[in-house]
Structure 1
Amino acid sequence: MKIAGHVLAYNVDRFLPHVVENCGRFIDKIFIVLPERPWAYLPGSRATRTNPTTREKVDEAIAAARAKGVSCEIEVICSDFETEEGTRNDCLDRATREGYDWLVIQDADEFYLDSGWETLLEFMAADRRHDRILTPWHNFWKTPELVLTSGDGSIRDVNAGFAIRCKSGVRFDTARKTTPAATILIDAPCYHYGYVMSDAEMWEKITSWGHAHQVNAQKWFRLKWLGWTPVHSYLHPVTPLFWPKAIRFPGRQPAFASSFMSPSQETAPLGFVDFLENMLADRATDVRIVARKLLRRSTV
């Protein structure tokens, strides 16, 4: 069995050396995709910005991982696709042409325990019935010490995809989501630090990522990110009701979490007008939640 990994290197300087080490000890090759500039979801961002993560930073990350014993093949792909799915499909095509059985999708802010890797590799080697693997994940908020809850109060959600069987014909369809595939969820939790960022990194993220066209970036950044306190609700930037709260993470911190404990963040307490705007937005979300529950009952 041959496994390739797919890592996007955009705005991920702090994460990159650690993710190369995390996956590079378990797979045969890593494709590090280095976009030249943002995708085209916000044309203004694409026209005026370049990738904060440079080739020099990528080379430094590779060297750091090599120094820690990572010996797998690593290829850096410089790209300039307009969409997330275009970027990912290009990498999938490369892995397929090179004869890999599976392509692991591991963004630079995603990490797995060694025991999780062992569980996943064992399944991938034995399985013949599934073409797409999902895993649970914990979504952390501002620090690895805080984790986001889902609508049912759980701190475990399901990611958009851990691996695709290369020769299955499955494609990335919208961002990380794929065309229909025989899918299985394997209990090997991902630790997702996509919201454990400095203020500058977070602003870059929400104005350049695959959901940039779905977010009122200035409003969310002001009300939910800079203005956050432990009593804040509905934190997801696209669908607020998905993340009702951030709470203290009750589990044991993995060793890799220590690298991400202190991003540069400031707070900007909400003034009266912002407080009122945030409260009204939250009450609107409450109404949507009640409406969804009533709709479900009416269709049972």
Structure 2
Amino acid sequence: MTQNVRVALVGLDSSHADHYVRLLNVERRFPGVRVTVLADGSPGRVADLAAASTAAGARVRSGRPDDVTSVDAVIVAHRAGRLHRTAALPFVRAGLPVLVDKPFTASVADAEELVAAARASGAVLFSCSALRFMPGVARLRAEAAGLGEVTDLTVTGPADPGSAHDGLFFLGIHLVETARALLGGDAGLAWGEPAVGRDEDGVTATVRATADGRDVVVRLRFVDPALHPAQPFHTVVTTTGGSVEGELEVGPDYLEPVLAHFLAQVTGTAASEAADGLVGPVALLAAITAGLEGPAHLVPGEPAAPTVRG
């Protein structure tokens, strides 16, 4: 990539901010693309990130979280998704490309407002879990395709419904996006109403997904990371001809493919993804969270028909 792109990094409390500065300013994985503005972070975080960048010869400055005039693209990276609408909206309305770190938002209303703003302004609006691009996901999908049609899918990983960072939204998005990727993405994908239950180790949501006209029973197993701190992301894909399974290894550069995908849309080397697909995962997590507030009614294999698109 040779096109110069000035990036504002808004929201600095997550470790992902360190990764973005490392990949763009320190190691310069994307020539011409630099974080030039740091915004919406504590003075200490601004100083630390600026020092790391300056030591690598890339100067940055502190800026306002709504400065839309001095950058070409924006990364919104707060840990809490409930902060993302307010942070991203001025940039989206101004037509700037915006990458929203996971989770996209922590409410359906926020997700829909951002998507509507992107539709109105024509801005590139992108968000995803890094697990979507993990080699293990592509491998499992290819192996499953060689066996037959997918009938059941189980994704297990760490997520705490009591997390201060929006409960299941914070890490649960990884499980939803992994399932989404294994089902083939957004085209023709719809989620049903989840059946939700708790046990001593975590939460299980069972939901019927329709993908390419096929119904698939999806089980999302959110394991309490306080009880199981080494819990990996694990997937089992059952098809008409057998099953495949495996752990999804997350390496140190897990955000690099997310950046690559976003920047390809920014520079026009790849078509922009339809922002409408950002609402579905948020809606599913919202439904699972709502299910936790009522009586447990987990009925494996008997979830409701799909009602949520994407």
Q: Scaled by the length of structure 2, what TM-score is found?
A: 0.35
